[in-house]
Chains A and B, each alone.
Chain A
Amino acid sequence: MSVPEDQGVRDAAPGADPLARAAEALRLHTDAGWVRVRQRVVDAALSAVRPARTVAAQHELGRFSVSTDVLTDVVRTALEPLPDAAPSRVVFETDDDDRLVAVRTTVVVAFGADVVEAAEQVRQEVGGVLRAVLGEVAPASGGFVVDVHVGDVTVDRRTL
């Protein structure tokens, strides 16, 4: 919302248009109620379970399953250090036994970066971290496919 710097003072001043004053008064008025409920709202939101599927994992201690929601967070965290690319979407494909068949990662790439190199870094990181989390349960055909799709380019690396 763009409000000229002095407009608030002008609108809130007695004698000004009461509706403009009213709108400005509400904008300037911070409800104490928000301060009271803010933490509760954040905590409740972050504890909400996102819709997700499970992916099979196999380690020395046995077989277990991992939520795609957790895997998405794992992939995002793994890609954080990359200087030229950041994920915008991660989609997992599984077979009938919930084994990971493919992971498709859409990324934003920094303008001027070597796209092929950035995509390859993403592919390596995603493949590596998922193999570490899931163990060796991908189909016997040789593991899961890691697809990388460059969906956007940004000129501001801070927005990666």
Chain B
Amino acid sequence: MRDERPAPGGGVVDELDDDVLARRAGLGDRLAFTELVDRHGPALHRYASRMLDDPSETADCLQDAMADAWRGLSGFGGRSSVRTWMFTLVTHAVRRHQSRQLKRTAAPVDDEVLARRATGPGQDPARVVEMQGFVEALDAALRQLPEGQRSAWILKEVEGLSYAEVAEVGRTTPDVVRGRLSRARATLTTLLEDWR
């Protein structure tokens, strides 16, 4: 649905580029900031919820990350895209929450885990084609991935970030991202084999 609220500085907020919204929000424009959150919130939530796997933690994490965004926009220099920057803030918040909660990050996947399939007992993928079921199976598969691989796969394959952007979010290099993605794909391919 289009957001036809007039932007104070002109234009319609949902037609404005992220950079323009970020510039305005950085100067205190709450409407511009809210549009940025509405624009990227679903993807950020999708990402955070699969990194934390806890609805309450996810909500707290997003609150923290968006508060960081509001505080940081006045100094946002545009060195990365606004979207990448917001994913970076969420990633930092995820790590803080994991650290605070002493959440154990997923262990590397071993052969035994790889042997398990993401489908439940007795499920027949040929008949279960609903999106929800598939998403649940995918979530189960994603939980098997180590954090770095899970993050890289979601950011690259689901959210469409480039290798360089994924590397920036994860504070690593594009080569490391390629390696993580390769391993993530191999694991997910195995775990989701029944859905082929």
Asked if residues B24 and A33 are in contact (CB atoms below 8 Å), the reply is no
Which among B24, B159, B196 is the interface contact of A18 at CB below 8 angstroms? B196
Q: How far is the CB of A72 from chain B (nearest CB, A)?
A: 6
Q: Is the CB of B158 within 8 A of A26?
A: yes
For the residues of A in contact with B, the DSSP-based class is helix
Q: How many A-B residue pairs have CB under 8 A?
A: 139
Asked if B193 is at the interface (CB within 8 A of a chain A CB), the reply is yes
Binary interface encoding of chain B residues 113-133 relative to chain A, with 1 for a CB under 8 A from any of its CBs, else 0: 000000000000010010110
Most chain B CB within 10 A, of A34, A88, A108, A160, is at A34
Out of A34, A42, A76, A157, which one reaches B34, CB within 8 Å?
Answer: A42
Q: Name the residue among A41, A86, A158 with the largest chain B CB count within 10 angstroms.
A: A41
B residues 163-196 touching A (CB-CB < 8 Å): 185, 188-189, 192-193, 195-196
Q: Tell whether, in the assembled complex, residue B71 and residue A18 are in contact, meaning their CB atoms are under 8 Å apart.
A: no
Given contacts A23-B158, A37-B58, contact A45 B138 (CB under 8 A): no
131-176 of chain B: CB within 8 A of chain A: 131-132, 134-135, 138, 141, 154, 157-160
How many B residues have CB within 8 A of the partner chain?
Answer: 56
| Interface membership of B85, Cβ < 8 A | no
Complex contacts, A49 vs chain B, CB 8 Å: 71
Question: CA of A28 to CA of B129 in the docked complex: distance in angstroms?
Answer: 14
Docked-complex contact A41 and B63, CB < 8 angstroms: yes
Residue B157 contacts which of A23, A48, A80 (CB distance < 8 angstroms)? A23
Q: Is A141 an interface residue (CB 8 A)?
A: no
- The reply to whether B134 and A25 contact each other, CB–CB distance below 8 Å, is yes
Q: Which residues of A contact B (CB under 8 A)?
A: 1-3, 12, 14-15, 18-19, 21-23, 25-31, 33-34, 36-38, 40-42, 44-51, 69, 72-73, 75-77, 80, 86-90, 108, 157-160
